[in-house]
Amino acid sequence: MKTIQCMMEHMYWADGRILEALEESGTKDKDLLKLVRHVAVAEQVWLSRLQGKGSMQYVLWEEAANLTEIRTMFEDNAKQYRVYMEGLKESELDEMVDYTNQSGVPFQTSVRDILLQVLLHGQYHRGQINRALRLESAEPVQIDYITFARL
């Protein structure tokens, strides 16, 4: 449980670092903003499923109005995940969650695997965002777990 909690704290930190790098870059790339919004919405989708709610109200791939909107999404996500994690017991990590994906297909996945999906999905896309920043001649930001752990 401690490892997942540390990884979640890393996720909140890394989301914030990516947003700072995007703000500093001044990017207007709509595809890049769409990608970072996708990360925030995917976090919402999985949390909704963990809470036993539906997720069909979320649109995973949609243009973002601006980084301020996305920052608010990430901040809300962090608050809600922290509350969820505080109430989660280690014995519940292997409980199965029934949900329907965005295409309407039913699935059953453990809480542990859902949390790992959220963590790894975000890190994958943050790497893509950093690469896009480099292609725009902007400075990518360090988001490795070890950097976070050294703080």
Q: Which of 47-56, 58-67, 78-87, 123-132 is predicted with the least confidence, judged by mean pLDDT?
A: 58-67
Cβ neighbours of 91 (radius 10 Å): 8
Domain that holds residue 48: 2-149
Residue 65 has pLDDT above 80, yes or no: no
What digits encode the pLDDT tens for the residues 68-126?
999 999 999 999 999 999 999 999 999 999 999 999 999 999 999 999 999 999 999 99
Tokens, residue 22? 């995007």
Q: Output the pLDDT for position 90.
A: 96
Predicted pLDDT at 76: 98
Tokens 């919405």 map to which residue? 41
Q: How many domains does the chain have?
A: 1
CATH of the domain at 129: 1.20.120.450
Has 10 been labeled as part of a binding site?
no
Q: Which whole number is the average pLDDT over 121-148?
A: 95
DSSP alpha helices (H): ranges in the chain? 2-25, 30-50, 67-87, 111-135, 145-149
Tell me the sheet residues that pair with 100: 106
Structure tokens at 138: 């902007």
Q: Find out whether 39 and 70 touch, Cβ atoms under 8 Å.
A: no
Task: Tell me the average pLDDT across 10-27.
Answer: 96
